[in-house]
Amino acid sequence: MAKGVKPRVKVPKTAAAGDTITIKTLISHKMESGQRKDDDGNLIPRSIINRFTCDFNGENVIDVTLEPAISTNPYLEFEALVPEAGDFKFTWYDDDGSVYDTTKTIAIE
Amino acid sequence: MELTRRNALLMGAGAFLAAGLPFRASAAAEDAIAAFTGGAEVGTGDITLTAPEIAENGNTVPIEVSSEAAVEIMVLAMGNPTPSVATFKFGKLAASRAASTRIRLAGTQDVVAIAKLEDGSFVQASSTVKVTIGGCGG
């Protein structure tokens, strides 16, 4: 597991049923592209987050395939529909097989 | 150096090789596009790609893609060593078919977004970004 990986997600605490909300996510990850060389001229192996998904109560919101061209600390912003109260589940998949996830609960006003 | 027939041939071959180099990267981009579209015709229309005209730092270039009727949107950086950037697949609960992120650009180049629409057709948009400092650590 890569060191110091910390997912951060911004979701409003409440919304009206059927509302559109904006979700912002960021995960601290170095996203080593596999193009860079170290001081001795050796290629640093690729180590990135290659996939991100967001689900609400088991229903998919977005599924993103990330490539090495995504910046360090991958940031994603998108919009989701909130049909009912429930949980947003965010999952990041690392090249080394690690999976990072976090959940945010949203209530209906 | 005397310009003999042999030298002229060598120079010609050298020029051909040098000219051929930039095409390798774009061939990779074309492969990625073909894999995404399955060889279908890519039109223009309902897709917006928002990217800065000038990016001082190629390590983090903010971009935004949106397309009303898209199922999937693929983003490509035509001048990067690996052109693929990201593919967004929108699920049932995606309120808008839009997303924004930050990308790395190796240098001044075109960024291309291709969307697969609900009816199975493809549309694309592109934007040229001038990069002052490249973002591939070369």
Residue B20: is its pLDDT beyond 80? no
* Predicted TM-score (pTM) of this structure: 0.83
Q: Say how many CB pairs under 8 Å bridge A and B.
A: 103
Per-residue model confidence (pLDDT) at position A65:
95
Condensed to tens digits (0 to 9), the pLDDT of residues B28-80 reads: 888 888 888 888 889 888 899 999 999 988 899 999 999 988 999 999 999 99
Which residues of chain B lie closer than 8 angstroms to A75, CB-CB? 101-102
- Contact of B84 with chain A, judged by CB distance below 8 Å, is answered with yes
Mean pLDDT confidence for B70-93: 93
Per-residue model confidence (pLDDT) at position B132:
87
Find which of A71, A75, A84, A95 to mutate to test the B interface (most B CBs within 10 Å of its CB).
A71
Task: Check: CB of residue B116 under 8 Å from CB of residue B98.
Answer: no
Question: Between A35 and B25, whose confidence is greater?
Answer: A35
Residue A49: is its pLDDT beyond 60? yes
Amino acid identity of residue B12, one-letter, is G
Task: Check: CB of residue B120 under 8 Å from CB of residue B106.
Answer: no
Which residues of chain A lie closer than 8 angstroms to B92, CB-CB? 59-61
CA distances from A84 to A18, A56, B94, B103 (A): 7, 10, 14, 34
Question: Between B25 and A22, whose confidence is greater?
Answer: A22
Q: Select the residue of A55, A68, A77 nearest B82 (Cβ to Cβ).
A: A68
Task: Check: CB of residue A15 under 8 Å from CB of residue A50.
Answer: no
For chain B, what is the mean pLDDT? 84
Condensed to tens digits (0 to 9), the pLDDT of residues A51-86 reads: 999 999 999 999 999 999 999 999 999 999 999 999
CA distance A101 to A97: 13
CA distance B50 to B65: 6
Q: Select the residue of A21, A33, A77 nearest B100 (Cβ to Cβ).
A: A77
Mean pLDDT confidence for B108-119: 93
Q: How large is the ipTM?
A: 0.89
